[in-house]
Amino acid sequence: DKGEFRHYMMKEIYEQPKVIAACLEGRISESKVLTSCFGADSGFLKEVENVHIVACGTSYHAGLVAKYWIEDLAGLPCSVEVASEYRYRKVAVPKNTLFLTLSQSGETADTLAALRKAKEQGYLTTLAICNVPSSTLVRESALTLLTNAGAEIGVASTKAFTTQLTALLITSVAIAVENGLSAEKEQALVNAMRSLPAYVNAALLQDEHIQKVSDRFANKHNALFLGRGAMYPIALEGALKLKEISYIHAEAYPAGELKHGPLALVDEDMPIITMVPHNGMLDKLKSNMQEVAARGGELYVFADRSTNLHSEDNIIFTEVPKVEGILEPIVHTIPLQLLSYHVAVVKGTDVDQPRNLAKSVTVE
C-alpha cells in the first residue's frame, strides 16, 4: 500500500526516520553501543584486526562509507570489494579478519557466492548486515545484524541503504570501543546516533525545494557527482540512483580527481552535483567548485548553512541540516534520493520498476 504517496520509492524515502530509529532500537543504550546486538558470539569484537567488506551495488556503496568509519574510529584496516570481483580472485586474508557482507535482500547470487568462498578462507568470523531475516545470507552467516527497514518495494534502494549505514555505524563503533575509543567519544557518537531520525526528518523538509531544482535536469543527458572523504561513496550512490530511475548518465568522482580527467567533460550542459562536508576539506572542495564554475558548468551544491555557501549566479544551493561529521554521509543521502526521484517523475519514467532491473539479483 502506497498510502498518500504516488510511488513506493517516495513512501520508502519518507519512512527513513522511522526505520532508522527501528535499526537503532535495542542496539544503543544511553551511553553505549550494546554488543549484545551481535548475539552471544560478540567476542569477535575483541579479536578483529582487519575487516573485509563484500557486497554489490548500493550495498557496496554502504560498505565504502564504512571503510572511512572503521579506519577512522577503530584504526583497523578495512577493504571493500564488489562480490562479483571478490568471488573469482585469489584473496589474501590476514589473520583475525572479519568478513562482512551487506545485502538488502540476502539473496544476491554474487554476495552469497562470496560468502561461501570466504567460509573456506580462514576468516575470524562472518557477519551479515541484511534486511531479510529469513534470507539465505542470514542463514549461512555466523552472525547477523538486521537492518529492520521493513519490506522495500521500490527497485532503487533507499531506506535499505540508510539503515545499512546505521547498522554499519553501530558495528564500527562496537569495534572501535575494543580498539581504544574512549568512553567519552563513544558517548558523543551514541548521542549523535540518537539524533539521526530527527536529522533525516529535517533533511526531508527540502523536498519541495528539490522538486523545483529537479526540473532543471529534465533535458540533461549527463551529470557529474563530486564528493570528498566519506562523501565520495555518497556521490557514487547519488549517481547510481539518478542512472537507475531517470536514465540520465551519471558518474561520481572524488573531487580531487577532477583535474585528472573528468574536468574535460565540463561545459554549460554538464550539471555538477557536490556534497559539501563540514570539515577540513571544505576549502579544497570550494576550489574544485571554482574550477567547475570557471568552465561554465552548472553547480548544484548540497551543504549546511555554516559553510556560508548559498545560491548565486552559478550555484544552485540546497540546504542540508548541520549534523555531526560522522553522520553526514547518512543525512546527505536524503536530498540525493529526492533529487533522483523528482527527476524521474519529471521525465515520466517508471520510478518503482526501472527498465531492465530486478529487485533481487539471484543470478550472476
Candidate ranges 102-110, 198-206, 222-230, 251-259; the one touching ligand F6R (CB under 6 A):
102-110
By CB under 6 A, tell whether 111 contacts ligand F6R: yes
Which of positions 35-94 make contact with ligand F6R (CB under 6 A)? 56-59
Give the span between the Cα atoms of 286 and 309, in whole angstroms: 9
Binding of ligand F6R by 109 (CB under 6 A): no
* Burial letters 197-222, b for 16+ CB under 10 A, else e: bebbbbbbebbeebbebbeebeebee
Scan for cell 531475516, then name that residue.
133
All cell numbers assigned to 335: 536530498
74, 175 in Cβ contact below 8 A? yes
CB of 246 to ligand F6R, least distance (A): 13
Residue 103 near ligand F6R by CB under 6 A: yes
CB of 361 to ligand F6R, least distance (A): 5
Among 16, 84, 108, 288, indicate the residue that binds ligand F6R (CB under 6 A).
Answer: 108
Judged by CB under 6 A, which of 50, 104, 125, 337 binds ligand F6R? 104
Residue type, 219: N
Residue 286 appears among annotated catalytic residues: no
Indicate the residue whose CB is closest to ligand F6R. Answer: 57
Q: What is the DSSP track for 323-363? A: --GGGHHHHHHHHHHHHHHHHHHHHT--SSS-TT--SS---
Q: How far is residue 323 from each of residues 45, 238, 284, measured CA to CA in Å?
A: 28, 19, 20
Lay out the site mask for ligand F6R across 167-186 (x = CB under 6 A, - = otherwise). Answer: --------------------
Given strand 125-130, what is the order of strands in its sheet?
78-82, 50-55, 97-103, 125-130, 143-146
In this complex, which beta carbon is closest to ligand F6R, that of residue 317 or of residue 341? 341
What residues between 207 and 266 interact with ligand F6R by CB under 6 A?
Answer: 244
In terms of CB distance, is 136 or 318 closer to ligand F6R? 136
Q: Which CB, 97 or 104, lies closer to ligand F6R?
A: 104
Nearest 5 degrees, angle CA 224-CA 229-CA 230? 90
Query: Active-site residue numbers?
Result: 359
Interface residues with ligand F6R (CB under 6 A)? 56-59, 103-105, 108, 111, 156-157, 244, 360-361
